[in-house]
Amino acid sequence: MTNHLPRTVRVRSDARDNRARILDAARAVFGEEGLSAPMREVARHAGVGPATLYRHFPTKQALIAETFAEQRRACHAAVRDALADSNPWHGFRSLIERICELHAHSRGFADAFMTAFPEAMDFAADRQRTLHVVGELARRAQETGQLRPDFVVDDLILMLMAHRGLQDTPRAARITASRRFAAYVIEAFGAAPGTKASTPLPPTPRLQLTHSPSTP
Amino acid sequence: MTNHLPRTVRVRSDARDNRARILDAARAVFGEEGLSAPMREVARHAGVGPATLYRHFPTKQALIAETFAEQRRACHAAVRDALADSNPWHGFRSLIERICELHAHSRGFADAFMTAFPEAMDFAADRQRTLHVVGELARRAQETGQLRPDFVVDDLILMLMAHRGLQDTPRAARITASRRFAAYVIEAFGAAPGTKASTPLPPTPRLQLTHSPSTP
DNA sequence: ACCCAAACGGACGGGGGCGTCCGTTACGGT
DNA sequence: ACCGTAACGGACGCCCCCGTCCGTTTGGGT
């Protein structure tokens, strides 16, 4: 008998095809309509039946996790670049702009990034690590006197949560709005130059992230 | 025969009672959970059946409109006071703070205020009038050089939309977050003092408001 | 005390979304 | 060309929400 090790089990071509088309569809649909888009919409967009979709990704969250792997890498890269920037304040600003842009280009990713799922999806871990690094970056930017001294990392969460409010709008307006919002945020985070000590900020909230989908 | 004009038709006491309790329940439930809260939750909270609720308010939007009449008046008052303030920039800041506070204290009102319902609820008209007045206020505050010259009224919409992003959080954190957010927004809207001309802002988006509930 | 109409509320139909079952299709190895 | 099995997809059950129907209760005028 020929020793045909079925290495990692043969994957049928149509199955692999469909998997790719489902992921593409998910990126498009979730990207434009957010995570509230029905699974069947993704299925229709991919040209497959609902059962096929559920066979490849047993649950909606599984699909979401796979769908936004690329954006997660982009997010990591943004943080890494920001930390490597020789000018911390410039790095900090670029980071805000890039994160906002990522979130504006994909409603679904923004939802996933900001939403603490009941089952801890690894987006949460990502965000924690990310925020830790941001803390380091912020410390440096404060030392150069360009980031306001009363800034705390939670303020970035605050602004990212606020950024979510811009997402219920068509793609073009959303991206423009996001850019202007980011610019205002950077303006707000910048240390007040010279004499005019800006009025002290109200206390920081203890933000625990949202559970918007499925809160029984 | 005695001429008993049934002036404005007799209203039975239990009916008037229930109507009041329904409105109270609606304020509580919609205020805390937003407009996505089920009607039956309002009914349960009011201790009545669903049919009773629907008899008093034929549709969800009718209930919502009645529920937030008071907040709408408060909003008008805030705008009026701001316009009457002898210091336009102070009036402008107070206005932002008061609107944010109103929105933070009632998720439902924030939703209703920011959401352009399919059927034009008069919230939309309110908002238009309000924004027109805000434009006047902004013009004055820019003349005193305290509001940045590149501010446009749409930027206020931008920030109010962003403020919505803070609402998926428990009441206490929401209010604190809202205050800090408002402070940052005011900081961002303030004109850069002295030499440091702040970097020019990206273009303003053409924001058409959201239709989040029921987009067929 | 009586009565009837106004008001109530449990139960119903309709719609939509999630995840699953099972009969059918078609890949790909021989 | 053939066939076994992996993969497919229409149809199903379940749950939640909105708004309505109809038999029952109760306010309040006589």
Q: How many angstroms is C1' of D1 away from CA of A6?
A: 25
Q: Is the pLDDT of residue B118 over 60?
A: no
Q: Which helix (H) or strand (E) holds A11?
A: none
Give the span between the Cα atoms of B107 and B111, in whole angstroms.
6
Closest CA to A22 of A56, A38, A44, A46: A46
pLDDT for the residue numbered B58: 95
pLDDT in tens, A63-84: 999 999 999 899 999 999 999 9
Give the integer Cα–Cα distance in Å for B163 and A181: 11
Residue B116 (CA) to nucleotide C7 (C1'), in angstroms, measures 34
Instruction: Report the pLDDT value the prediction gives residue A201, as an integer from 0 to 100.
Output: 78
Chain B contact present for A173, CB below 8 A: yes
Confidence check: pLDDT of B138 > 90: yes
Mind listing the domains of chain B with CATH numbers? 13-66 (1.10.10.60), 69-189 (1.10.357)
User: What pLDDT is stored for residue A117 in this prediction?
Assistant: 59
Q: Do B210 and A185 touch (CB under 8 A)?
A: no
Q: Which residue carries 């790719």 as its tokens?
A: A20
More confident residue, A201 or B121: A201
Give me the residues near strand D, CB below 7 A. A 11-12, 14-15, 17-18, 47-52, 55-56; B 2, 4, 10, 12-14, 37-40, 50-51, 54, 58-60
Under a CB-based contact definition with an 8 Å cutoff, are residues A77 and A99 in contact?
no
Distance from CA(A23) to C1'(D13), angstroms, rounded: 27
Report the gap between the CA of A12 and the closest CA in chain B (Å): 37
Cβ contact, residue pair A210, B183, below 8 Å: no
User: Which of the two residues, B54 and B214, has the higher pLDDT score?
Assistant: B54
At residue B158, what is the residue type? L
Other residues' Cβ atoms within 10 Å of the Cβ of residue B206: 12
Q: Is the pLDDT of residue A8 over 60?
A: no
Q: Is the pLDDT of residue B214 over 50?
A: no
pLDDT for position A119: 54
Digit-coded pLDDT (tens) for A94-131: 999 999 999 999 999 999 888 765 555 667 777 778 88
List pLDDT tens digits, range B154-184.
999 999 999 999 998 899 999 999 999 999 9
In this complex, the residue of A176, A182, A185 whose CB is nearest that of residue B205 is: A176
Residues contacting B102, CB < 8 A, separation 6+: B71, B74, B75, B78, B109, B110
Distance CA A50, CA A25 (A): 13
Angle at CA of residue A183, ends A165 and A160, nearest 5°: 35
For residue A126, report the phi and psi dihedrals to the nearest 5 degrees: -45, -50
Chain B residues touching residue A101 (CB < 8 angstroms): none
Structure confidence at residue A9 as a pLDDT band (50, 70, 90): low
Tell me the pLDDT tens digit for each residue of B85-110.
Answer: 999 999 999 999 999 999 999 999 99
H-helix or E-strand spanning residue A101: helix A88-105
**Which single residue is written with the structure tokens 């800041």?**
B93
Which of chain B's residues have a Cβ under 8 Å away from the Cβ of A187?
A: 187-188, 192, 198-199
- Protein CA at B49 to nucleotide C1' at C11, angstroms: 11
Indicate if the pLDDT at residue A162 is higher than 60.
yes
Confidence bin at A172 (pLDDT 50/70/90): very high
Euclidean distance between CA atoms A210 and B32, whole angstroms: 14
Residues of A in contact with B180 (CB under 8 A): 155, 158, 201-205
Window 80-119 of B: residues touching A by CB (8 A cutoff) are none
Rounded distance between C-alpha atoms, residue B91 and residue A41, angstroms: 48
A vs B: CB pairs below 8 A: 143
Averaged pLDDT score across all residues of chain A = 87
Read off the tokens for B81. 């006071």
Q: Residue A115 pairs with which residues in a beta bridge?
A: A210
